[in-house]
Amino acid sequence: MQPSNQAYDQASTVFSPDGRLFQVEYAREAVKRGTTTAGLKYKDGVVLIVDKRINSRLIEPDSIEKIFQIDEDIGCATSGLVADARALVERIRLEAQINQITFDEKISIKTLVKNICDFKQAYTQYGGARPFGTSLLIAGVDESGPRLFSTDPSGAYTEYKAGSEGEGRSSTMAYFEEKYKENMTQDESILIGIKGIYKGKEKKLNPDAIEIAVVDRKKRFVRLSSEESKNYVKKAIGK
């Protein structure tokens, strides 16, 4: 006969006696094993930075995509299971397009985040499915200004001035708590973001593995080239 607590461990729809959903907690563990992501608001926009964790010199760095453009004014960075993240990104893009076609206006960042988190929450409530093992940092600029949200596998979301997900999150967030300032320039926010990721890594930071994108009031979503990213890494950590 199987132990009685195994049912709580295997089913995403069953609470344990102490009020926990183990499958959701396991999904969070998948996020913690993912690559480090960082997002920081600055005066005119939001910067997203990802360490793509390239483990072999045979891998083409450009083939690993961890930052995605949602529309002209919204981007997101992912940490956790890449395939889960890709499915959610397609869903987010669809939500943005539906709003544009239906109401002839761009969707607000918070509404988009709420919609995708409602979708993620459904996968913790019904049988035959598992929670998404990924967290998204969703960044954009709307009528209220720069916005940065972090989404959880449970379907919860939090707005941040500076946030991080993935491996080394606690160390990166501790660095942001110390160094983040209001109304920083774009360059300042990128350098602090890279230094925060560096603080959270146990291994040497590979300049080829850093991907950076900016969502700005004027330029909108812009993905920096690999050379630009490398130059920022050299400025940040002197390598």
* Residue 10 located in a structural domain: no
Is residue 91 predicted with pLDDT exceeding 50?
yes
Sheet of 162-165: strands edge to edge?
A: 162-165, 37-42, 45-51, 210-216, 220-223
* CA–CA separation, 41 and 140 (whole Å): 10
**What was the pLDDT predicted at 146?**
95
- C-beta separation of 192 from 40 below 8 A: yes
pTM of the model: 0.91
Surface-to-core class of residue 142, CB atoms within 10 Å of its CB (0-12 exposed, 13-18 middle, 19+ buried): middle
**What was the pLDDT predicted at 7?**
60
* CA–CA separation, 92 and 72 (whole Å): 13
**What was the pLDDT predicted at 2?**
46
* Residue 123 located in a structural domain: yes
- C-beta separation of 139 from 124 below 8 A: no
* Residue 2 located in a structural domain: no
CATH (domain of 159)? 3.60.20.10
Alpha helices, DSSP H, located in 41-168: 82-103, 109-122
* Residue 215 located in a structural domain: yes
Mean predicted lDDT score pLDDT of the chain: 91
Question: What percentage of the chain has pLDDT greater than the value 90?
Answer: 73
The DSSP element (H or E) to which 217 belongs, if any, is none
* Residue 5 located in a structural domain: no
Is residue 59 predicted with pLDDT exceeding 50?
yes
Domain range for 62: 22-237
- How many other C-beta atoms are found inside a 10 Å radius of the C-beta of residue 121? 16
* Residue 100 located in a structural domain: yes
pLDDT band at residue 18, thresholds of 50, 70 and 90? confident
| Tokens, residue 147 | 């916005």
Is residue 202 predicted with pLDDT exceeding 80?
no
Alpha-carbon radius of gyration of the chain: 18
**What was the pLDDT predicted at 5?**
55
- pLDDT, tens digit (0-9, with 9 covering 90-100), for 103-158: 999 999 999 999 999 999 999 988 788 999 999 999 999 988 999 999 999 999 99
Which of 9-13, 144-148, 235-239 is modeled with the greatest confidence? 144-148
**What was the pLDDT predicted at 159?**
97
* Residue 7 located in a structural domain: no
Looking at the 3D structure of the chain, how many domains does it have?
Answer: 1
**What was the pLDDT predicted at 1?**
36
* Residue 4 located in a structural domain: no
> For residue 164, which phi and psi values (nearest 5 degrees)?
-150, 150
As a residue count, the chain comes to 239
* CA–CA separation, 17 and 112 (whole Å): 34
